[in-house]
Chains A and B, each alone.
Chain A
Amino acid sequence: MSEALFNNPTPFEVDLQAAFAGRAKATGAQAAAFERFAKLGFPNRRIEGWKWSDFHGALRKLTPANDAEAQGDIAPSEFAALNPLEFRIINGQIELPQGELPDGLRYGVVEPVATIPELERHAIVNLNIAMTGKALGIEVGENTPDRPILIRHINTNAAFAFTQTMMRVSANARARLIETYEGEGSGFYSHLFHMVVRDGAQFHRTVVHQTGADQIVNAVCAAKIDADAAFNQTSLSTGSRLSRHETIVHLWAQGGSAEINSAALLCDDRHADFTTHVVHKAPHCRTRQIHKGVARDRARNVFQGKFEVEREAQKTDAKMTANALLLSDTAEANHKPELEIYADDVECAHGSTCGALDADALFYLRQRGLNEAAARALLVEAFLGEVLDGVDDERLGDIFRNKIADWLVYE
């Protein structure tokens, strides 16, 4: 590798280059990925798709944390009540669950794989491929008991961490995955997740981003959905200094469906970016997407949703809604809904709204006896209702409702 990979590198890029050079067994593919990253650099505001989430600006100023500090005890997950199979990725180190394997489930630490063509020009994905040593691999067989899988991404004191997960849900299997992003660290975390949902399988993914205020996170999930398979995802984020959760879904064969719901509850200077790209590649597939963002103080909520319907994907049925609720004059919502349609017999729609709390509704509630805080909380909860309705597990729904209630206490 040449010394001058970067053109005018930032201090953080210098650190990354040293870390990459110090790696024991980088493959040729990883070296190539690092070179691609160095050429692209962290995405900045001038790059379409990143103009509201400036990783270049945020990571230039990253102060590497002291990684000598001891790792404290990890508190039990609030999802423990669901009796999940718990994986932990602590500052980039994978910890597998102990004990007996449930029937039909296989997991382990595996070699990472190359990414999908769509992500080959994604700078952070390239960096992730270059830096990730081992990946977490999970395979769910057809007769695996319906027990949730929990992956906790916990970042405390690392300046940066890179991980990958690969998951396969076998034909006709059912799988439920909960991913939490946690920890008070102030570093950069990149997670790359490749998954496939085989014919007739059903996959539910729940993502909860609730890190400390200073974390910078980019999590990218690319999912391939086979015939008559279902991908159902609900995300809840309270944001952090810069957080971007990307979901790429390819509906590869007839009868596939995707439901992608997300909610952001943001205060102070927190930032949450939900960027999604759903590609309909086959006929008779269905997508439903709802995003709800609530922001106050100087928080910023970004939603970029794109449906792409290829020529063969006739009878596509796809609908996207994004609504923003701004609770202060200085909060921001940036929405970019996009449809790109090459088939002629499809039903596709998108809608986007942005507004403040309805003064008429607020007065009505207060005339009925609710004080201002209670009335505002009720309206915010009502605003998020559609996303909560998409959570089909009652216990999970209750956890979501409690989280929203906790957030509203400070509203």
Chain B
Amino acid sequence: MLKIENLHTTVGGHEILKGLSLDVPAGEVHAIMGPNGSGKSTLSYTVAGRDGYAASEGAVMLEGTNILGLAPDVRAAKGLFLSFQHPMEIPGVQTMTFIRTALNAQRRARGEAEVSAADFIRLIREKAKLVGLDDAKLKRPFNVGFSGGEKKRMEMLQLAIFEPRFAIMDETDSGLDIDALKMVGDVVNALRGPERGFLIITHYQRLLHYIKPDRVHVLAGGRIVKSGAAGLAAELEKSGYEQFIEAA
């Protein structure tokens, strides 16, 4: 599904990713854990195609296609979704209008029919209930004045509506209370399936109580330094990242 091979990324003159390799087969959920500064956000930006985060070496294969070099919107249309650590506020753009515009842009790019206004309203109402956002929020400018938790719910709303092939969740758990963590777990677990993959980037183990990963990887110094089963997360929580920082 998503196969990263020997990925190198230099940002502002510093090499952050130094030969990262990772394979998330279809149907699996993998977690990446790592200390601050290990390259977690750089990994998500490089895979999603942000300006200034071009890979200098390596490949990112999404369902057999190397997506490096493709525009971010082309990657999105191929089914790649990034849940942002710090979602943007967009004043002057109504939430519903924006999400519908984005959904239809992706569908057009894939040669699929656009979703009508009426169908879209039904869809967004249903998914908003799932993520715990009331209808009034959908009519407001996108994320403007929303709390950190509400912005994360808005990310989960888009995840539920876009139904991407592969989702990267960049520290979605940061700043969330227990109820919101459970909601994130419910949304992801409902979408888990044989045709879909997830990469959960996190600093802490707590989200992994709600989303049980198939594999856990430790990212340190721009490389995956250890991989293991779900139990590795608990082990890290106990022993910390220090051993890996030194190893890296």
A interface list, Cβ under 8 A from B: 358-361, 363-372, 374-375, 378-379, 381-386
Contacts and interface: CB of A to CB of B under 8 A. Distances in A.
Given A366-B72, A369-B105, A371-B105, A382 B50 contact: no
A363 B50 contact: yes
Interface of B: 48-51, 71-73, 75-77, 81-82, 84, 87-88, 90-93, 98-99, 101-103, 105-106, 109, 141, 158, 162
A364 B88 contact: yes
Contacts of B76: 366-369
Given A363-B51, A364-B87, A367-B76, A374 B105 contact: yes
8 contacts: A363-B48, A367-B49, A368-B105, A368-B162, A378-B98, A381-B93, A382-B141, A385-B91
A172 B169 CA distance: 59
Contacts of A370: 73, 101-102, 105
Nearest to A380: B92
A356 to B, nearest CB: 13
Nearest to B142: A382
B84 A369 contact: no
Nearest to B89: A361
A385 B88 CA distance: 17
Given A361-B88, A385-B91, A378 B101 contact: yes
A361 B105 contact: no
B82 A369 contact: no
Contacts of B87: 364
B73 A371 contact: yes
B120 to A, nearest CB: 14
A370 B106 CA distance: 8
Given A364-B84, A366-B49, A367-B82, 17 more contacts: A360-B88, A363-B48, A364-B90, A366-B73, A366-B76, A368-B162, A369-B105, A370-B101, A371-B73, A375-B73, A378-B90, A382-B90, A382-B92, A382-B141, A383-B92, A385-B141, A386-B92
A369 B88 contact: no
Closest 5 CB pairs of A and B: A385-B92, A382-B92, A369-B106, A368-B102, A366-B72
A357 to B, nearest CB: 12
Nearest to A385: B92
A384 B105 contact: no
Chain A binding site: helix, strand, loop or mixed by DSSP? helix
A173 B21 CA distance: 74
A367 B72 contact: yes
B92 to A, nearest CB: 3
Contacts of A365: 90, 102
B97 to A, nearest CB: 9
A286 B90 CA distance: 29
B109 A369 contact: yes
Given A359-B51, A374-B105, A369 B92 contact: no
A328 B199 CA distance: 37
A365 B73 CA distance: 8
B72 A363 contact: yes
Given A359-B51, A374-B105, A366 B71 contact: yes
A31 B208 CA distance: 86
B20 to A, nearest CB: 20
A57 to B, nearest CB: 37
A359 B45 CA distance: 13
Contacts of A378: 90, 93, 98, 101
A156 B51 CA distance: 46
A49 to B, nearest CB: 31
Residue of B98, B105, B109, B141 with most chain A CB atoms under a 10 A cut-off: B105
Nearest to A374: B105
Nearest to B93: A382
A386 B144 CA distance: 14
Contacts of A382: 90-93, 141
A369 B77 contact: yes
Contacts of A363: 48, 50-51, 72
B51 to A, nearest CB: 7
Nearest to A378: B93
A222 B77 CA distance: 54
Nearest to B86: A360
Contacts of B162: 368-369
A368 B158 contact: yes
Contacts of A367: 48-50, 72-73, 75-76, 81-82, 84
B22 to A, nearest CB: 20
Nearest to B109: A369
B93 A369 contact: no
Given A360-B88, A378-B93, A382-B92, A369 B51 contact: no
Contacts of B82: 367
Contacts of A371: 71, 73, 105
Nearest to B84: A364
Contacts of B103: 369
A372 B71 contact: yes
Nearest to B97: A378
A159 B48 CA distance: 56
Nearest to A375: B73
A294 B16 CA distance: 36
B90 to A, nearest CB: 6
A378 B75 CA distance: 20
Nearest to B91: A382
Contacts of A369: 73, 76-77, 102-103, 105-106, 109, 162
Contacts of A379: 90
Contacts of B50: 363, 367
Nearest to A384: B92
Contacts of A361: 88, 90
A251 B141 CA distance: 34
B96 to A, nearest CB: 14
Contacts of A381: 92-93
Nearest to A370: B105
A371 B105 CA distance: 8
